[in-house]
Chains A and B, each alone.
Chain A
Amino acid sequence: MTLIRTPSDIDPSEITPESVYRERRRFMQAGLALSGAALLGEAPFAQATVTPFTGLTRSAFSVDESQTEYKDVTGYNNFYEFGTGKEDPAANAHTLRTSPWSVTVEGECAKPGTYTLEDILKPHALEERIYRLRCVEGWSMVIPWIGFPLADLIKRFEPTGNAKYVEFETLRDPERMPGQRRSVLHWPYVEGLRMDEAMHPLTLMAVGLYGAALPKQNGAPIRLVVPWKYGFKSIKSIVKIRFVEQQPLSSWTRAAPDEYGFYSNVNPEVDHPRWSQRSERRIGEFLKRKTLMFNGYAEQVASLYAGMDLRKNF
């Protein structure tokens, strides 16, 4: 079912308060500033020092650790849609077209439909959240994301009692995502969360980082950030959200079910079959550091998995 909503479909309760509207304007301006810089041939990195999103609240969930440099956050990425090398996404993602963008919502919910990115963002106040990110490969970063809780978005679609999981899909566009011309993974990229994980206050829909709109290599225009799970769970450039009863089959689980489980919670005690997960190299640091249970978010999320065997449910 595809449905671009017209003004008559929009409930008065959904009409944006002025403060949020201004916030969104700043977001749009940030995007314009970035594309303007690109047109003028300026390094987009220069924008990192400017803060186009203003008046962002700094979340209580933010960690107080030194942030990974902007050039590393935007230059060292896993985004196989643009190539399997770490520098490939930064080199190739310029071909992605993020405007217009829409997200299709399907499945077990009262308000399915295709929503424009503007519709999606409209009611949400953006906040900055500084989160640790731990890659399954054994490196980590600290990234100041900009976004809003996924829970707030999900509530708008009114999932039914049958919605046990949320499944997400990345854009599939081999024209603009050259990495998809080879079947390194099953395209489109699919990820999923259990409903309670999706509704957890730490789970973020991100639209920016370092004060500006998300660079394309980081999953523009909208991506998921689940800080207590390995990075590949935080799906990028989302075009589909589906509420389902059965546990989704994510792309990495499909590729190697014994290596990448559905949960993929950061866990120093459960090794990847081919390498240890006990330590990690924080990008920018010389020596490795110990990996923390649930990536240091155990206090907030451990209760989600009470009574579960995390070795089996890896």
Chain B
Amino acid sequence: MKPWIKPTVFVLCLLPLAWLVFALLADRLGANPIEALTRETGEWTLRWLLITLCMTPLRKATRWIWPIRIRRMLGLFAFFYVCVHLSTYLWLDQFFDWGEIGRDILKRPFITVGMLGFVLLVPLAATSTNAMMRRLGRNWTRLHRLAYVVPALGVLHFWWLVKADVRTPFVYALLFVVLMLLRWKPVSLRGSNRGQISNLSP
């Protein structure tokens, strides 16, 4: 892997947040900046989750190694953005009114699902180190299948929030389905040279 790839991706991942912070301070997030900040960080979480899911198919299609090497970092950025997203809700939206937050989680399916997605992402971030990978062995792979569940919850969280126009969540749902289909054996075998992928896996 070219040595510049990882630092470049790192900086790229920070750009959306940098822009949001700048726009917030420069009063360029519109009439309802807090709502915009919450929406943007939420959408970026979903984007990073889906981009993370692109890495394995990309590696299989191109045989490049770098997609697998940056996959963990992308996943951690998804976690980072969801933390910012959740903070905007807890702090700027509810101002740490735990009673109200608790009622929201129990009563509002879209918040229940979003919170579940966050909770499931925590063990993935916590076990992302090489040491944890070795310690958990086969269980690590099992645990990290949650990376397929979390984006689905994210899409649902978005879908249930929308009032009438579901075009944007629909696009994310579609991307998610495509990324899952690429992992489905009949599809992934057709795309590669007769099942040689398994030999290429690191």
Contacts and interface: CB of A to CB of B under 8 A. Distances in A.
* A and B: interacting chains: yes
Contact of B32 (A84, A86, A276): A86
Which of B30, B92, B93, B163 gathers the greatest number of chain A CB atoms within 10 Å?
A: B163
A276 to B, nearest CB: 7
B35 A139 contact: yes
Contacts of A278: 100
Interface stretch (A11-19, A72-80, A163-171, A305-313): A72-80
Interface in B8-34: 30-32, 34
Interface residues of B, number: 20
A76 B161 contact: no
A43 to B, nearest CB: 17
B157 to A, nearest CB: 11
A245 interface: no
Contacts of A71: 31
B31 A84 contact: no
A184 B165 contact: yes
Contact of A274 (B92, B100, B108): B108
A184 B164 contact: yes
A289 to B, nearest CB: 11
B126 to A, nearest CB: 31
A97 interface: no
A287 B94 CA distance: 9
Contacts of A255: 164
Contacts of A281: 32, 34-35
A237 B121 CA distance: 47
Interface string A244-287: 00000000000110000000000000010011101101011011
Contact of A75 (B30, B107, B160, B164): B30
A84 B160 contact: no
B93 A288 contact: yes
Contacts, number: 49
A175 B65 CA distance: 52
B32 A76 contact: yes
B110 A274 contact: yes
A292 interface: no
B109 A84 contact: no
Interface string A135-146: 001010000000
Given A274-B108, A274-B110, A275-B108, A86 B164 contact: no
A64 B155 CA distance: 43
Contacts of B63: none
B31 A283 contact: yes
Contact of B30 (A87, A271, A274): A87
Given A274-B161, A278-B100, A86 B108 contact: no
B64 interface: no
A33 interface: no
A185 interface: yes
B197 to A, nearest CB: 41
B31 to A, nearest CB: 3
Interface of B: 30-32, 34-35, 92-93, 95, 100, 103-104, 107-110, 160-161, 163-165
Given A75-B31, A274-B109, 15 more contacts: A71-B31, A76-B31, A76-B32, A80-B165, A84-B163, A84-B165, A86-B32, A185-B164, A256-B164, A271-B107, A274-B161, A276-B100, A276-B108, A286-B34, A286-B92
15 contacts: A75-B30, A80-B165, A84-B163, A86-B30, A86-B31, A87-B30, A137-B163, A139-B35, A184-B164, A185-B164, A271-B107, A274-B161, A275-B104, A276-B100, A281-B35
